[in-house]
Amino acid sequence: MKLVTSLGDGLGQVMADEGQMQQVLMNLTVNARDAMPRGGTLTIETRHERLDAGPAGLDPETQPGDYLVLTVRDSGHGMDAATLSRVFEPFFTTKEPGKGTGLGLATVYGVVKQSGGYVRPRASPAREPAFAFTCR
């Protein structure tokens, strides 16, 4: 597997627990690894984003302002629409029994929301972010 990073400079800070953010990154990268059983590319990116209005398809509670965006993208098989619609449900997993708890992405969602951010899951491999989450 190839790891690519694109980390923005001067992004500032977010109000989030360091341990929880490590857990978020670990959950996203493990899921990305599992989506590429024959190898592939895992990309981790950070950047600044200014939201003037809530992007379409996001929680209407998303506030305009400056955000730090963390994107974890893989070149794996992607998700179908049915999977995408349930991806943050606790205990939902596409992994075979004994290979996952279904709590990783529910945890990601909870940490990001608690930190004043939002999560944008994408289904298509390589062309769009697998997961981009944005925290204030």
Taking the chain (136 residues) in runs of 10, the rounded mean pLDDT of each run is 93 87 92 89 90 63 80 85 88 84 90 85 60 60
4: enclosing H helix or E strand: strand 2-7
Structure tokens at 129: 């972010």
45, two tokens: 């990116």
The pLDDT assigned to 23 comes to 94
Pairing relation of β-strands 2-7 and 41-51? Answer: parallel
Amino acid 118: pLDDT: 83
The reported pLDDT for the residue numbered 77 is 78
Please give the CATH topology (third level) of the domain spanning 2-135. Heat Shock Protein 90 (3.30.565)
Structure tokens at 53: 């209005």
Which residues on adjacent β-strands are paired with residue 4? Answer: 43
> Any idea where the domains of the chain sit in the sequence?
2-135
Helices (H), 36-88: 81-86
pLDDT of residue 101: 85
